[in-house]
Structure 1
Amino acid sequence: MAEPHADPDSFDYVIVGSGAAGSVLANRLSADPNVTVCVLEAGPPDRNPFIHIPAGFIKTLVNPDVTWQFKTEPLAMTGGRRISTVQGRTLGGSSSVNGMIYNRGQPADLDTWAQRGNRGWGYADCLPYYRRSENRLGTCDDSRGRNEDGIPITDMDWINPLSEAFIQGCVGLGIPRCKDYNSGTQAGVGYFQRAIRKGRRVSAAVAFLKPALARKNLEVRTNARASRILFEGKRAVGVQYLAAPSAPAQEVRARREVILSAGTVNTARLLQVSGVGPADLLGRIGVPVVHDLRGVGANFRDHYASRLVMRARPGVETLNELARGLKLGTQIARWAMGKPSILATAPSHVHVFWKSFEGLDEPDLQCVFTPGSYAEGKVYVLDDYPGVTAGAWQHRPESTGWVRARSASVFEDPEINPNYLSDPMDIRVHLGGMRLLRRMLGTPELAKYVEAETLPGLQVQSDDELLDFAKKNGSTTYHLIGTARMGPETDPTAVVSDRLLVHGMQGLRVVDASIMPSMPSANTYATTLMIAEKAADFIRGRDAVAEAA
């Protein structure tokens, strides 16, 4: 049995970040009473009530108290705009502020990882870990998990007639209704599955971290911003952290491993300001080189989406009306009584996984539909007229960018450059997605509910006009990956091995979305949970996949 209080600042494992990956790791590692675990979270506890109300994301995403208010660099392909790419900064990380969508993606995503030299990362290898991380509450086959220690995944229970009309219209276009897009067969249309139970968001902190806090061998320190990894030679031995820019530095030591689960932006930045990264960058920011590792901060990818809006016919009830006045009061009352309501829905209601052009074997697009719309140019402000929104983005963008620290201070936001739409194939797929949206919004089944396209408007028709609209109005989907890419040590741009250990270092591991070699054909949350489950087995020396089932 470990003695967790023998030295209050020394643990076997120090985990930086309490998001999806960090919360899973904290739970699984502390299940062994013979080890001690410390989690450092840069943000506060998750006491903000809007975190736990699903519709509260409208409030939390613009709240700097619980989020990193990161912005991208202004780019030609974004019309010179800096795009907000917010990440969670509280217990649960982004799982406390995200859209709660659970989406595994296509089996080929992971098979591609394995084909790139990452042993044990094929779909068959990873499926047991997806199953371990979820508690599917609904009809499913044995590809799904019913683990009571996992994230509860439920079906949409508040259904608007507009959503059903949209689905029927897609079926009329030849897009099949998909029974379960997480079963290994993704193509089709249907309602999203989400991490909501009994009307409340279930973040990774709620599902994994908090149940483990009763263990004496687990300690969580909030408002503790990791500022530097501590090294002895090439071995990570601890983490320095700060409560504020002018606060005295504090240290926590790691006897076995330092594990970075800080997210795609913060993991890359922390490595860089600690001296692990491209030597030329470290020289520019005045950080001594501990290990020249070219790939740190490179291979950055994100999903870039364009959204079309249609005005609904007079008298049609959308989220825009239900979220105001007496109708909102009714919805709040329904939520309080545990009944389906707009307060307990995900931002996107309907999914469509389909093809940007005919002839593809598998979908290369994700499209979403919501029976509501936001005012143009305003952040999460609903239109004052009834409206609906449909958006589309490319599953696997080819465009890559970077995350680079601007200085040695973790209180200065890094340079974030996703290079959206810089690859010609990405432009082709994006335009195909926008044209598919118009077809789906123009079906006879939906026509009795909607009357006109308001954004971008039917005056926008040519490829050049659509691309110009995408540049000026497209946005992130907050699916940031790749800045500590997994790959063999023979690959000069890889950062971690297939056991997620940082190449050339000892006692240093990365476990979060930054290790993804390529973008999954999905939202990234489900796969991040899977990665953490798999990493926990690596760390504990439990490599037998059968144990995960």
Structure 2
Amino acid sequence: MEFDYLVIGAGSAGCAAAARLSEDGRHSVALVEAGGKDTNPWIHIPVGYFKTMGNPATDWMYRTAPDPGLNGRDIPWPRGKVLGGSSSINGLLYVRGQAEDFDGWRQLGNEGWGWDDVLPYFTKAETWKGEPKSQDRGTAGPLSVSPTRLKRDVVDYWMDAAEAAGYRRNSDYNSGDQEGVGYFQLTLDGGRRCSSARAYLKPARGRKNLHILTHAQTERVVIADGRATGVVVNRNGQSETLKARREVILCAGAIGSPQILMLSGVGNGADLAEQGIETVCHLPGVGRNLQDHLQARPVFKTSLGTINVEINNLFKQGLIGLRYLLTQSGPMTMAASLGTGFLKTDPRMATPDIQFHIQPWSADKPADGPHKFSGFTASVLQMRPESTGHLKLASKDFRDHPEIHPNYLATETDQRTLVAGIEIARKIARTSPLADYISEEHAPGAGVALGDYAATLDWARDTSVTIYHPTGTCKMGRDSQAVVDPQLRVHGVDGLRVADASIMPVITSGNTNAPCIMIGEKLAAMVLEDAGK
């Protein structure tokens, strides 16, 4: 059980990294995944995220600690525990982020991570199947990116109302210019989800130099004389050591990667001592700088048909299932949202600071099923929160989930921006032509007056939830809180890198799956360049 490279975590970045590292056949690669194979059919049906989130067979089932910013609530934090990781259970939404996000990373001292540096890896990863075509969109990558196959009148009217309210259309928010409203782009291939496992691992499965280990949870990285030499994994209740001749690469995500580092003795020495873990490398930033997107979910009742009423009896559900079976079309190809908007809460801003997810359905909790009335949701989030949280080991047992402290809405800017986003959602809903089809605002509702800042903020604290974008906990940089350098090498430990959402010094403006795949692509290129030297 000895390999050139050990890639820990078969998620968005890990699948890309392992596939590229094994591509030319020169290096042996083991991809180690704590979850199982992606054989659950609901993984591959786009709307299946309703069945895979909250399912312990595919979801880590994390939960936050009670959070002061949410009026003391604790909330679920779904993360994928299966081949493909969170790309196998997410909402299929493909968003690169703003060019300014990556230029900002470069300005922090992370050379090689500006927009012009990362764009080639975005294009290398994808095959864009929509319009418009441009040199910034990939045509031969493993990841299928498609326009939505489903449209609904309520989403079209929302976009028309947004235009009437002064916002513009954008036919390709992934071009580097994000501002405007439009339909989401999806990691969709025909009528099936295109997870990172399907994109990268399926074509690579026959390679003799690529070994995929499932149901293998990493206990710790083995570090000897300042160098990572392997990992200890637990399979079927038994611990075994896998050796790395060249490097160990953690791609276990913004929760898993810092947890593994801390269990390995890499982290804040005082925190490790509390758990009886000997400090191998004092890196106080491990588990810090936790950032996430918090979504508020205004809901409106409408006279238009929405998914709520399209699936409100078994006969309709049967017809929808039959349509998907025969044509791979219809509501079962629906992503988590159809429409989006990247807008500014203040026109003087250089770039948008809020994002909308327009959903032609509504629910108090998705797990409880849709409302009985016809409704839609205008979910809104602040894209660049100032508030940062942290992770903390609950124990030195690798099976125990770490404590998650998101620290939502801890700054005045974050509070003000989210309230402004909610106000914009309500104003668009009161603008024609959308207003002509809205019978009632269900949430926040009549009890929260438009313009009442305190009541709106309190409603947001009581009801907002994650939109599943944890990042930043092994941040890239050269300051005292940085965990990895711009080559993603862990400071102070040779032969060890991290490549996933945790390395983001600042969260990207939008959904994080696409940037994570880019990170996996760029990591592989850097590792292979070093190997060539």
Q: Is the 8 A contact 2:35 2:82 kept in 1?
A: yes
Work out the CA distance in 2 between the residues paired with 1:147 and 1:257. Answer: 31
1:351-399: CA deviation from partner (whole Å, max 9, x where unpaired): 011011232122110011111101x256352111111100111110000
Work out the CA distance in 2 between the residues paired with 1:133 and 1:428. Answer: 37
**Number of the residue aligned with 2:413:** 425
Q: Mark the runs of 5 or more structure 2 residues left unpaired by the alignment.
A: none
Q: Is the 8 A contact 1:72 1:83 kept in 2?
A: yes
Pairing 1:235-384 to 2, within 5 Å after superposition = 235-243=227-235, 247-313=237-303, 316-324=304-312, 325-374=314-363, 376-377=364-365, 379=367, 381-384=369-372
How far did residue 458 of structure 1 move? 2.2
The one-letter amino acid of 1:390's match is A
Q: Is the 8 A contact 1:133 1:145 kept in 2?
A: no
Out of 497, 501, 515, the residue aligned to residue 527 of structure 1 is 515
1:274-322: CA deviation from partner (whole Å, max 9, x where unpaired): 1000001100111111101111000000001101011122xx3210122
Pairing 1:484-523 to 2, within 5 Å after superposition = 484-488=474-478, 491-523=479-511
The one-letter amino acid of 1:428's match is R
The one-letter amino acid of 2:202's match is K
Work out the CA distance in 2 between the residues paired with 1:370 and 1:543. Answer: 46
Work out the CA distance in 2 between the residues paired with 1:496 and 1:339. Answer: 43
1:185-224: CA deviation from partner (whole Å, max 9, x where unpaired): 1111110000111111010000001211100000011000
Out of 186, 190, 203, the residue aligned to residue 198 of structure 1 is 190
Task: Give 3-state SS (helix, strand or coil) of 1:439's partner.
Answer: helix
Q: Output the TM-score relative to the length of structure 1.
A: 0.94
Task: Give 3-state SS (helix, strand or coil) of 1:225's partner.
Answer: strand
1:452-487: CA deviation from partner (whole Å, max 9, x where unpaired): 011120220211111111111000011010000000
- 1:400 paired with 2:388, answer yes
Work out the CA distance in 2 between the residues paired with 1:168 and 1:340. Answer: 25
**RMSD, aligned α-carbons:** 1.4
Q: Is the 8 A contact 2:118 2:518 kept in 1?
A: yes
Q: Mark the runs of 5 or more structure 1 residues left unpaired by the alignment.
A: 1-8, 545-549
Out of 199, 211, 230, the residue aligned to residue 219 of structure 1 is 211
How far did residue 438 of structure 1 move? 0.3
Work out the CA distance in 2 between the residues paired with 1:450 and 1:326. Answer: 27
State the identity as a percent.
Answer: 39
Task: Give 3-state SS (helix, strand or coil) of 1:208's partner.
Answer: helix
Work out the CA distance in 2 between the residues paired with 1:379 and 1:303. Answer: 20
Work out the CA distance in 1 between the residues paired with 2:212 and 2:124. Answer: 23
Out of 223, 236, 242, the residue aligned to residue 231 of structure 1 is 223
Task: Give 3-state SS (helix, strand or coil) of 1:67's partner.
Answer: coil
Out of 83, 86, 90, the residue aligned to residue 98 of structure 1 is 90
Q: Is the 8 A contact 2:247 2:495 kept in 1?
A: yes
Q: Is the 8 A contact 2:220 2:260 kept in 1?
A: yes
How far did residue 419 of structure 1 move? 0.4
Task: Give 3-state SS (helix, strand or coil) of 1:148's partner.
Answer: coil
Out of 171, 177, 181, the residue aligned to residue 179 of structure 1 is 171
How far did residue 140 of structure 1 move? 2.8
Work out the CA distance in 1 between the residues paired with 2:436 and 2:332. Answer: 26
Q: Is the 8 A contact 1:198 1:338 kept in 2?
A: no
The one-letter amino acid of 2:485's match is S
Work out the CA distance in 2 between the residues paired with 1:422 and 1:381. Answer: 31
**Number of the residue aligned with 1:391:** 379
The one-letter amino acid of 1:417's match is H
Work out the CA distance in 2 between the residues paired with 1:323 and 1:209. Answer: 34
Q: Is the 8 A contact 2:67 2:406 kept in 1?
A: no
**Number of the residue aligned with 2:181:** 189
- 1:161 paired with 2:153, answer yes
* Residues 518 and 543 of structure 1: CA distance in aligned 2, closer, same or farther (over 3 Å): farther
How far did residue 79 of structure 1 move? 1.8
Work out the CA distance in 2 between the residues paired with 1:141 and 1:127. Answer: 15
Q: Is the 8 A contact 2:124 2:140 kept in 1?
A: no
How far did residue 447 of structure 1 move? 2.3
Q: Is the 8 A contact 2:87 2:196 kept in 1?
A: yes
**Number of the residue aligned with 1:149:** 141
1:209-267: CA deviation from partner (whole Å, max 9, x where unpaired): 121110000001100000010111210000101135xx221111000000000000010
Work out the CA distance in 2 between the residues paired with 1:259 and 1:151. Answer: 22
Task: Give 3-state SS (helix, strand or coil) of 2:433's partner.
Answer: helix
* Residues 98 and 377 of structure 1: CA distance in aligned 2, closer, same or farther (over 3 Å): closer
Work out the CA distance in 1 between the residues paired with 2:281 and 2:135. Answer: 42
- 1:108 paired with 2:104, answer no
- 1:443 paired with 2:435, answer no
* Residues 521 and 356 of structure 1: CA distance in aligned 2, closer, same or farther (over 3 Å): same
The one-letter amino acid of 1:358's match is P
* Residues 66 and 339 of structure 1: CA distance in aligned 2, closer, same or farther (over 3 Å): closer
How far did residue 437 of structure 1 move? 0.5
Work out the CA distance in 2 between the residues paired with 1:459 and 1:25. Answer: 50
Segments of 4+ moved more than 6 angstroms: none
Q: Is the 8 A contact 1:273 1:407 kept in 2?
A: no
Q: Is the 8 A contact 2:50 2:366 kept in 1?
A: no
Task: Give 3-state SS (helix, strand or coil) of 1:68's partner.
Answer: coil
Work out the CA distance in 2 between the residues paired with 1:443 and 1:514. Answer: 40
Work out the CA distance in 2 between the residues paired with 1:162 and 1:372. Answer: 10
**Number of the residue aligned with 1:4:** none
Work out the CA distance in 1 between the residues paired with 2:530 and 2:318. Answer: 51
Q: Is the 8 A contact 1:321 1:327 kept in 2?
A: no
- 1:55 paired with 2:47, answer yes
**Number of the residue aligned with 1:88:** 80
Q: Is the 8 A contact 1:394 1:429 kept in 2?
A: yes
Q: Is the 8 A contact 1:229 1:240 kept in 2?
A: yes
Q: Is the 8 A contact 1:353 1:367 kept in 2?
A: yes
